Chains A and B, each alone.
Chain A
Amino acid sequence: MAESRLTALPESTLLTLADTCLLWGHRLSEWCGHGPVLEEDIALTNTALDLIGQARALLQLVALRRGDEVTEDALAYFREPEAFCNLMMVALPNGDYALTMARSMLLAAWFVPVWDSLAQGTDRPLANIAADAVKESRVQLRHASDWVLRFGDGTDESRRRIESALVSLWPYCDELLATTVDGTDQAERNASWRASIQATFDAATLSMPALPDAATNLLTATASASRLTLLAEMQSLARQHPGASW
């Protein structure tokens, strides 16, 4: 017990990962029944399931370490929006399929090196979660990168849409790269992210937009407003029946 306390990573790290997975899983689940083709509907639902599964495992770990009868659902449904630690990008509305696939690629390329490092870390319960999650993120990265390639190389319309998606998401990458995840090497992670994205951009003959110096207040406000709407929906029923079991 003493050893696990010594090696446990800070709760803020766990919540950053958990909340990012939860909100991104929520956004992908909104596609369920509305995908561009049945096979993609099923694939996106699979990814949403992976992400919500990862969020659950992490929130259960946070709850266990907090004690005091805290549960995964208390953390997901009864925390106030400002207490969520997600990356801003995941809260944005889905937009079209290009925006969804571009975002999926940018996030998965970030998660793969994060999970890879954590899987080899000394926080063993977290390492076990990461060892499973990294396999799922690799699948997500391959799936999304394939679509970015198709859009870049497909039709004039798909190219216009993927370029527009990347331009609108790019400012949020600054936060992605600046976010510290304890137990991982930020420089290595970012190098891996860039290499992965660059390979897809090259194959799709897309140019990588320049990274802005910093996220503007406007971006933060947009993402916060989106998170507020998302959580209002996600938490609505649970909050109508506080204390109920489902």
Chain B
Amino acid sequence: MYTQAFDIVVAGETSPVADDGDVQTAFLARIARDEKIEPQDAMPEAYRKTLIRQISQHAHSEVVGMLPEGGWITRAPSLKRKEILLAKVQDEGGHGLYLYSAAETLGVTRESLVEALHAGKAKYSSIFNYPTETWADIGTIGWLVDGAAIMNQVPLCRCSYGPYARAMIRICKEESFHQRQGFDIVRSLCEGTPAQKAMAQESINRWWWPTLMMFGPHDSDSTHTGEATDWGIKRISNDALRQKFVDVTVPQAAFLGLTLPDSAIMWNAERGHYDFGKIDWDEFWRVVKGDGPCNAARVSDRVAAFDEGRWVREAAAAHAAKSALSKASLKVAA
């Protein structure tokens, strides 16, 4: 699952500064030739820092994203749905692992990244700060949230940084399954009883706008789009991706017999796109800055799992050290 406008930087927080010199010139020439940058290659410090921030935000989003859906595994209304949801949430954990590994190729440790998340210094997709109130939310998250994530992520398969691009190829394949299973849940609700269909509609009403916010601020307000584009990290702008998502989703909602909660949605023949209403950016920034419905609960759940698991990790490390010592002694004796 995930991601929102990659590389969200809150006003007042530091941003990497591009460095000059030969490295920069040679690097930009490679980007222009559409070459992949690999971990051992020279790269500007600003590029490295931007990637660490973006990939770790993405990894955190996958891991925090396990929580809102994970809460419904034990209540899934059929065994088939339970299996699918378990597999989906497991995939998200796997995505987190790929991405932490990709970030580690840039010279940071997973521990330091996780520490930043727990300390509230690192961001993750703000969509996961909304609650999953009903089973229909599991379908909506798959259909809309994962659908929006795919729009964001497919261009990243061509990202200039090799390990990130390769991780994204695998992630996108799995996200595609997630999106289809979400749509299938919503479809089954819409074809079900009146109560099931009402559950689906109520869920869409709550998730539509936060989903549109996932693409991030308007291009005119997105301070890092230029750099990220120059460096071959970002291929398509926030607004272009958001428009593409709306254009794809409006007919899907009509097919399902659901209404999107925006009276301004209308086909614009001149533009060849759907027009849609204004996004509440105050809400977006409120949630990004930590004041969403579930920010505190999400981080607190992650911190609790980490703290309660400390003795487990310590035991594994102690056993590994003893085993290594014992093997070394045997070698010496031999």
What residues of chain A have their CB less than 8 Å away from a CB belonging to chain B?
26, 29-30, 32-42, 45-46, 48-49, 52-53, 55-56, 59, 72-73, 76-77, 96-97, 149-151, 153-155, 157-158, 161, 233-234, 236-238, 241, 243-246
Contact assessment for A33 and B86 in the assembled complex, using a CB-CB cutoff below 8 Å: no
Q: 9 A-B contacts, Cβ less than 8 Å apart?
A: A30-B74, A32-B73, A34-B301, A36-B305, A45-B89, A97-B312, A150-B319, A158-B311, A158-B318
Contact assessment for B315 and A157 in the assembled complex, using a CB-CB cutoff below 8 Å: yes
| Prevailing SS type, chain B contact patch | helix
Q: How distant is A96 from chain B, measured CB to nearest CB, in Å?
A: 7
Complex alpha-carbon distance, A165 and B78, angstroms: 32
Q: How distant is A143 from chain B, measured CB to nearest CB, in Å?
A: 13
Contact assessment for B308 and A36 in the assembled complex, using a CB-CB cutoff below 8 Å: yes
State which of B70, B192, B301 has its C-beta within 8 Å of the C-beta of A245.
B192
What residues of chain B have their CB less than 8 Å away from a CB belonging to chain A?
63, 66-67, 70, 73-83, 86-87, 89-90, 93-94, 96-97, 100, 135, 185, 188, 191-193, 195-196, 301, 304-305, 308-319, 322
A residues near B76, Cβ cutoff 8 Å: 237
Contact assessment for B83 and A36 in the assembled complex, using a CB-CB cutoff below 8 Å: no
Other A-B pairs beyond A32-B73, A72-B79, A234-B75, 13, CB < 8 Å: A26-B74, A37-B313, A38-B96, A38-B97, A42-B94, A53-B83, A154-B314, A154-B315, A157-B315, A158-B314, A158-B315, A244-B192, A246-B81
Contact assessment for B79 and A37 in the assembled complex, using a CB-CB cutoff below 8 Å: no
| Prevailing SS type, chain A contact patch | helix
Q: How distant is A42 from chain B, measured CB to nearest CB, in Å?
A: 5
> Of all chain A residues, which has the CB nearest B72?
A237
State which of A29, A35, A72, A77 has its C-beta within 8 Å of the C-beta of B77.
A77
Contact assessment for A73 and B78 in the assembled complex, using a CB-CB cutoff below 8 Å: yes
A residues near B96, Cβ cutoff 8 Å: 38
Complex alpha-carbon distance, A129 and B208, angstroms: 43
Complex alpha-carbon distance, A66 and B154, angstroms: 48
State which of B86, B97, B196, B318 has its C-beta within 8 Å of the C-beta of A45.
B86
Q: How distant is A7 from chain B, measured CB to nearest CB, in Å?
A: 26
Contact assessment for B83 and A241 in the assembled complex, using a CB-CB cutoff below 8 Å: no
B residues near A48, Cβ cutoff 8 Å: 86
Contact assessment for B316 and A150 in the assembled complex, using a CB-CB cutoff below 8 Å: yes
Q: How distant is B29 from chain A, measured CB to nearest CB, in Å?
A: 38
Contact assessment for B74 and A49 in the assembled complex, using a CB-CB cutoff below 8 Å: no
State which of B75, B79, B196, B317 has its C-beta within 8 Å of the C-beta of A55.
B79
Contact assessment for A41 and B93 in the assembled complex, using a CB-CB cutoff below 8 Å: yes
Contact assessment for A234 and B93 in the assembled complex, using a CB-CB cutoff below 8 Å: no
Complex alpha-carbon distance, A155 and B318, angstroms: 6
B residues near A234, Cβ cutoff 8 Å: 74-75
B residues near A236, Cβ cutoff 8 Å: 75
B residues near A38, Cβ cutoff 8 Å: 63, 93, 96-97, 100
Contact assessment for A237 and B77 in the assembled complex, using a CB-CB cutoff below 8 Å: yes
Between A73, A153, A154, the greatest number of chain B beta carbons within 10 A of the residue's beta carbon is seen for A154
A154 and B196 contact, Cβ closer than 8 Å, known pairs A49-B90, A56-B79: no
Contact assessment for B319 and A153 in the assembled complex, using a CB-CB cutoff below 8 Å: yes
B residues near A53, Cβ cutoff 8 Å: 83
Q: How distant is A44 from chain B, measured CB to nearest CB, in Å?
A: 9
- For the complex of A and B, the 8 pairs showing the least CB-CB separation, nearest first, are A36-B309, A154-B315, A158-B315, A36-B312, A33-B70, A33-B66, A45-B90, A150-B319
Complex alpha-carbon distance, A160 and B2, angstroms: 40
A residues near B83, Cβ cutoff 8 Å: 49, 52-53, 56
Contact assessment for A33 and B312 in the assembled complex, using a CB-CB cutoff below 8 Å: no
Contact assessment for A35 and B309 in the assembled complex, using a CB-CB cutoff below 8 Å: yes
Between B78, B192, B315, B317, the greatest number of chain A beta carbons within 10 A of the residue's beta carbon is seen for B315
Complex alpha-carbon distance, A90 and B108, angstroms: 41
Complex alpha-carbon distance, A32 and B96, angstroms: 14
A residues near B192, Cβ cutoff 8 Å: 244-246
B residues near A42, Cβ cutoff 8 Å: 90, 93-94, 97
A76 and B93 contact, Cβ closer than 8 Å, known pairs A36-B313, A52-B86, A245-B188: no
B residues near A73, Cβ cutoff 8 Å: 78-79
Complex alpha-carbon distance, A234 and B74, angstroms: 5
A35 and B79 contact, Cβ closer than 8 Å, known pairs A45-B89, A149-B319: no
> Of all chain A residues, which has the CB nearest B70?
A33
A151 and B77 contact, Cβ closer than 8 Å, known pairs A37-B309, A38-B93: no
> Of all chain B residues, which has the CB nearest A158?
B315
Complex alpha-carbon distance, A9 and B90, angstroms: 35
Contact assessment for B309 and A97 in the assembled complex, using a CB-CB cutoff below 8 Å: yes
A residues near B314, Cβ cutoff 8 Å: 154-155, 157-158
B residues near A241, Cβ cutoff 8 Å: 77, 193, 195-196
State which of A59, A154, A233 has its C-beta within 8 Å of the C-beta of B316.
A154
Contact assessment for B75 and A96 in the assembled complex, using a CB-CB cutoff below 8 Å: no
Q: How distant is A200 from chain B, measured CB to nearest CB, in Å?
A: 13
Complex alpha-carbon distance, A149 and B316, angstroms: 9
B residues near A49, Cβ cutoff 8 Å: 83, 86-87, 90
